[in-house]
Structure 1
Amino acid sequence: MTVRGGRPALTADEVEQRREAILSAVLEQISERGTAGVRMKDVARAAGMSIGTIQYYFDSREALVLAAYRRHSENVVSRVKSPFPGEGDPWEGLRRTLHEFLHVADFTMRTRLWIEFVAASARDDQLLELLDSVFLTWKQVVREVVDAGVADGTFSPRVDPEVAVDALLAQLDGFEIAHAIGSRGTDVERIELVLQQTARALLGVEPSHPE
């Protein structure tokens, strides 16, 4: 095993675990303090590491924030892509997709992160590019389920399918903002129910399909 400065070198798994701990600490700081409030010393304290260790893996605060948003986005997208494999009942696939999105990790923390992500992206081209990629990926996930339902007759859209997808995502975005600020009636269960009922109305889902 390679030795640096008298200490055994970390394995690839150990390096990844350190990076994960650092990025998790960054996301917690963003949720609590906002993107502009992230400081290396606070991240180091939350991660239980020295500032030098943080800087060894991420050479700047900007690189640290970008990596944290990228990792968070990848994790969320990977979860919501899995419920509908391209076969089976499209309505059930859409219900499960929405359910998974609302139940990935802590929804309150995620809504706060999303608001911070959008705000920070307005001033950072790299974050803006990442945000656009995340949004398009999430939209494609929903669109694929809708297209499958239209193709097999499960859905009889009352509007153009593209409009239906945009309307669902816009409603979800609105709920995320309302939930983040603590508005009444925006608990996860109610959000899921309203989204399902909206989807039924837009996509013409027959009553025989359960909630």
Structure 2
Amino acid sequence: MPTRKRRAGGEKREAVLDAVAAVLASRGYENTRFADVSAAGGVAISTLQTYFGSREDMIIEAMQVFTDREVDALRAVSASETDPWRRLVALVDRSLHNSERTRQILVEFWRSAMRDDELRDYSATVQERYRAPFLAAVREGVARGVFTPAHDAEAVTNLLLAALAGLIVSRVQQHPTPAPVEFRDVLLTQLRQMLGVDDSEPTTEGIEAR
């Protein structure tokens, strides 16, 4: 469990954490300083030190809060759709259409977790929570007889999330990548095959390329 969070700040602290996230997305972990956040958030450096203690704790708490928000967003998407296939499609779309800032912060979170023991432990918890709605949709589809997968639900979910994470990394690094809509078409085709889903199931609602 994370141990860095402090009580000082209240609502103002939340606004400061948003400023930290914005600086982190544009400058990266190593180049996010108290001075940068002070300028971006309009708060004194001394206040930042009171809130967080150290630069590292400030950045790590911002990443923790941000990733919690992403997990909560996936849960909301999952709760809005009762059909397992449509739910999976909605979860894929949420992941594919994240903002550039979201993608940058996620990659910084993964990078930082490689070197920080506390954050690494927290990242394992986040991964399980992030994965849960995808896995639940696959398992529910199997239980209902809607999905007839050749592999177990764990393996299907792992492959799906690996594909989504790989695209995030490539887009952040500005490698040549397919447009989200093109990637989505291929991914959903493969997912249909893995799950044995009827081709008549719709997959085109609410799609926007970004």
TM-score by length of 1: 0.85
3-state SS of paired residue (2:79): coil
Q: Once superposed, what is the RMSD of the aligned Cα atoms? A: 1.9
State the match for 2:44 in structure 1. Answer: 50
State the match for 1:8 in structure 2. Answer: none
- Give me the whole-angstrom Cα distance separating, in 1, the residues matched to 2:79 and 2:20: 33
State the match for 2:16 in structure 1. Answer: 22
Q: Give unpaired runs (5+ residues) of structure 2.
A: 1-6, 204-210
Deviates more, 1:186-195 or 1:61-70: 186-195
1:6-85 alignment runs, 5 A limit? 15-85=9-79
> Residues 184-209 of structure 1, C-alpha deviation per residue, up to 9 Å, x if partnerless?
34333333333322211211111121
- Give me the whole-angstrom Cα distance separating, in 2, the residues matched to 1:121 and 1:87: 32
State the match for 1:207 in structure 2. Answer: 199
> Residues 20-76 of structure 1, C-alpha deviation per residue, up to 9 Å, x if partnerless?
221112112221221111100111110011101212211111220121011101100
Cα separation, partners in 2 of 1:42 and 1:141, compared to 1, 3 Å: same
Q: Report the AA paired with residue 70 of structure 1.
A: Q
State the match for 2:82 in structure 1. Answer: 88
- Give me the whole-angstrom Cα distance separating, in 2, the residues matched to 1:72 and 1:102: 17
User: Percent same amino acid at aligned positions?
Assistant: 30
State the match for 1:159 in structure 2. Answer: 151
Q: Give unpaired runs (5+ residues) of structure 1.
A: 1-11
State the match for 1:120 in structure 2. Answer: 112
Shift of 1:123: 1.1
Shift of 1:130: 1.5
Shift of 1:167: 0.7
CA contact (8 A) 2:170 2:177 kept: no
Cα separation, partners in 2 of 1:157 and 1:86, compared to 1, 3 Å: farther
Q: Stretches of 4+ moved more than 4 A in 1?
A: none
User: Out of 170, 185, 188, which is 1:193 matched to?
Assistant: 185
TM-score by length of 2: 0.86
User: Out of 76, 93, 97, which is 1:103 matched to?
Assistant: 97
Q: Report the AA paired with residue 16 of structure 1.
A: G
3-state SS of paired residue (2:78): coil
State the match for 1:148 in structure 2. Answer: 140
Cα separation, partners in 2 of 1:201 and 1:32, compared to 1, 3 Å: same
CA contact (8 A) 1:158 1:202 kept: yes
CA contact (8 A) 2:167 2:177 kept: no
Q: Which has the larger radius of gyration?
A: 1
User: Out of 160, 164, 184, which is 1:172 matched to?
Assistant: 164
1 or 2 for the larger relative contact order (CA 8 Å, sep ≥6)? 2
Cα separation, partners in 2 of 1:87 and 1:40, compared to 1, 3 Å: closer
